[in-house]
Homo-oligomer: A and B are copies of this chain.
Amino acid sequence: MRTSIECIACFVRQAAEAVGLVVEDRRREELLRLLLKEIAACDWRGSPPVVGQVIHRIIRRELGVDDPYRALKRHLNDKAEELVPVIRETLGRRSDREAALLRVAAAGNLLDAGAKSGIAPQDLHGVLQRLWRLPFRGDARDFFRRTAQARSILYLADNAGEIFFDRLLVEELPRDRVTVAVRGAPTLNDATLEDARRAGLTGLVRVIANGSDAPGTVLADCSAEFREEFERAELIISKGQGNFETLSEEDGRIYFLFTVKCEVVGRKVGAAVGTLLCVPGGGG
């Protein structure tokens, strides 16, 4: 999907929050002024994560650190890890286990430092308590039928913290046919190989990096190896709003699993902000 006028204010909010990572007041202002100019000069015809990639590259370059979100990601992983046993226990008691797994994975997507309606790690516990009452749109039976039939499944992970919830879902997929892909380098609070390792995914299924530092899956920016995996996969599970924003025009092999976190995406999918979504894309 294309970047819309409404996305621009969201980029600036993200940029202002990111410069909050810089301690000195004067430096903050300088960096934010630079980011405003860069956003003004950016190509807005791409999807929002394409602009996000530009912003976060500048932030890393100007801060002189390769991963300004490292501490936040650790905190997200800590919080998620803490909750996993609770969720496992609850899942064990559900009669609608399949739909429940999708709900859990989609709700994990709320752990997003980039989204206006994302939640702080400390709020996650509260969300999980409301989880079964959150609006959900999806056909769990169809999802699991397709994953059972597919000879190869590419699971595109999204954020740190969230990846612990992905693990719960991946455990229930035919593991020998699943490959999980993470970002190729740190960007925003997106999951990288380090987070996949921490969530125990590397011991469970094949995990690859996509070669890109976009906070989404910008195919043209990914490595040739990743693009090949993408082409070959019979079924793609695209996790998170950033992956949706970058892949929404792709073919029907994709199942999108995320929480609707802004009105622009909400209008595109015809669902209210806050809806947990599990929908096939394109001709799917």
Contact = CB atoms under 8 A, between A and B. Distances in A.
A44 B29 contact: yes
Interface stretch (A30-38, A99-107, A140-148, A181-189): A30-38
A5 B33 contact: no
B9 A13 contact: yes
A252 interface: no
A54 to B, nearest CB: 13
Q: How large is the interface on A (under 10, 10 to 19, 20 to 34, 35 or more residues)?
A: 20 to 34
A29 B9 contact: no
Contacts of A41: 33
B16 A5 contact: yes
Nearest to A20: B5
B5 A32 contact: yes
Contacts of A65: none
Contacts of A16: 5-6, 8-9
Contacts of A6: 16
Interface in A1-54: 5-6, 8-9, 12-13, 15-16, 19-20, 28-29, 32-34, 36-37, 39-41, 44
Contact of A32 (B8, B15, B29, B37): B8
A29 B7 CA distance: 12
A266 B8 CA distance: 25
Interface in A33-79: 33-34, 36-37, 39-41, 44
Nearest to A45: B29
Nearest to A13: B9
19 contacts: A5-B16, A5-B19, A5-B20, A5-B28, A5-B29, A6-B16, A8-B12, A9-B12, A9-B13, A9-B15, A9-B16, A13-B13, A29-B44, A33-B40, A36-B37, A36-B39, A36-B40, A37-B37, A37-B40
